[in-house]
Amino acid sequence: LAVRPEQIRVVAGNAPGAIAARITGKVYFGTDTHYHFALADGTEVVARLQSRAQGEDDLSKGAEVGLQFEDNAVQVLGL
């Protein structure tokens, strides 16, 4: 299964239907920031979010968050 990085939303870790994740890093790319996450089973996930103004980004390395995406964002690979 795959979900495009821009389809992933970062929400509170206890949000209904969210997948628990920990932020392991982030890379600034101008208008976008790529956030790297680790799931409880060790799976690595990358999300692409629009960059925020300096001082507005409360997503820090080590923070526990939730990840969500729409059902139709899931791609089945390898069939």
Give tens-digit pLDDT for 24-63.
999 999 899 999 999 999 999 999 999 876 655 678 999 9
77 pLDDT more than 70: yes
Contacts of 30 (CB under 8 A, 6+ apart): 51
pLDDT value of position 7: 92
pLDDT value of position 54: 64
Domain 2-75 coded CATH 3.40.50.970? no
Task: Give yes or no for a contact between 39 and 2, defined as CB atoms under 8 angstroms apart.
Answer: no
Q: What is the pTM of this model?
A: 0.84
